[in-house]
Amino acid sequence: MKQSYDMDNFINREIVYNSIADYLVVVGIIIAGIVVIRITRLFIANHWAKGTSERAHFIAKGQKLIIPILHVLLIFAALKYLTFPEHWLPTINSTFVVALVFLIVRAVTGVVKIGIHSYVVQHHETAADQKLKQINGIVLVLNAIIWVLGVIFLFDNLGFNVTAVITGLGVGGIAIALAAQTILGDIFNYFVIFFDRPFELGDFIIVDDKMGTIEYIGLKTTRIRSLQGEQIIFSNSNLTNSRINNYKSMKERRVVFVLRIVYKTSHDILQQIPIILRAIIEEERNTRFDRAHFARFETYSLDFEVVYFIKSGDYNQYMDTQQRINLAICVEFERREIQFALPLYHLKLEKQEFENVKSYEKYDSH
C-alpha cells in the first residue's frame, strides 16, 4: 500500500508546471509516433518501391528528406500536451520554426535535385554521366534561390519586417544586374547550352579559327582542349552567339579531291581514269562513291575531280580510308603508266636570242 502511495506521489510530482506522468505521456506519444512512421516507411519500401531501380532510389531519397520533417512535427505536437512558462513559448516556437523551415528547404532542394537527375537519366540515356556532371551548376543556382526564399520566409515568421529587406534586395538586385550583366548573361546562356544542347562534353567543335574537344561546361565559361594540347576558354555568351561546327553529330563526311594528269595522256586513258577511280573507291567498305569527272583544263594539267562519302564522322577513319585510296591510285596509275602533272614551264628562245645568250656567256667567261 505504501509502495503504491509512493509511486503515485512520484508520478504526480510536478516539475516545471508538469507532472512526471505528463512527461511520460509525451514520451509515449513520441515513441508511438516513431513506430508508426517506421511501419509506414517499411510498408512503402516493400510495396511502392518495388519495380525499377530508379523508382526505388527516388522513394528512398524522398523518405530520407521527409521523415526528419515528420519527426519534428511529431515532437512539436507532443510538446503541446505540456504546459510551459509564458516566457519559454517564444523560444520553443522559434526553435520549431527554424528547424521546420530548415528541413523543408533541404527537402525541396533535394527533390529538385532528384527531379533534375531523373529528367537527365530519362532524356539523355547515352550521355547521362556527362550530363549529371554538367547539371551541378544548375542545381547550385536553384539551391541558392530556394535557400534565399526560405530565409526570407523564416524571418517573416520570426516577426522581422521583411518588406524593407525585399525592397532593398529588389533595388540592390537591379544594381547588381546592371553591374554584372555579362556574368548574368553567361549564366543564362549556360541554361541555354544545357537545355538546347548545341554541343555536349566530348564533342569536337570549330568556333571561328579555334577547334578542339569540349572538356568542361561551367556556369560562366566553357573549356575546349585543342588539337595542339592547350586549353581554350570561351565565355558561354561568346559560344552561343557564334557559328559552331559540331563534328560529333556528323553521320558521314563528304570528301572531294583533285588529280592532275599530264597533257600528253592519250584519249583512251583519259576515258578510263573515272572508271579506275570508281573501282578503287567502291572497294572500301565504309565509302559511298558519288562521282569522278574530267573537270577542267588547267595551265599545266588535266584535272579530274573525285567526290565520295565516308560513312562515319570520325576523322581518323576518314584519313585511314583516304590513305588507302591514295596508295591504290598510285599503284594503279603506275601500272598503267599514267603520269601526274607537275607545274613545269617551258622557255622557248628564238635563234637570235640564243646566239646573244651564247655571246654573253663567252664574254663573261673572259
pLDDT value, residue 360: 47
Q: Strand 253-261 vs strand 18-19: parallel, antiparallel, or unpaired?
A: unpaired
Average pLDDT over residues 329-335: 94
pLDDT value, residue 275: 95
List the grid coordinates of 305.
575531280
Contacts of 200 (CB under 8 A, 6+ apart): 127, 130, 131, 134, 214, 248
Rounded to whole angstroms, the Cα distance separating 148 from 137 reads 17
Q: What is the pTM of this model?
A: 0.52
pLDDT higher than threshold 70 for residue 20:
yes
Average pLDDT over residues 72-100: 84
Res. 87 pLDDT band, cuts 50 70 90: confident
Residue range 147-190, pLDDT digits in tens = 888 888 887 777 777 676 666 666 556 656 555 667 777 878 88
Q: Which residue has the higher pLDDT, 78 or 346?
A: 78
Residue range 179-225, pLDDT digits in tens = 566 777 787 888 788 777 788 888 888 888 888 888 888 878 899 99
Res. 345 pLDDT band, cuts 50 70 90: low
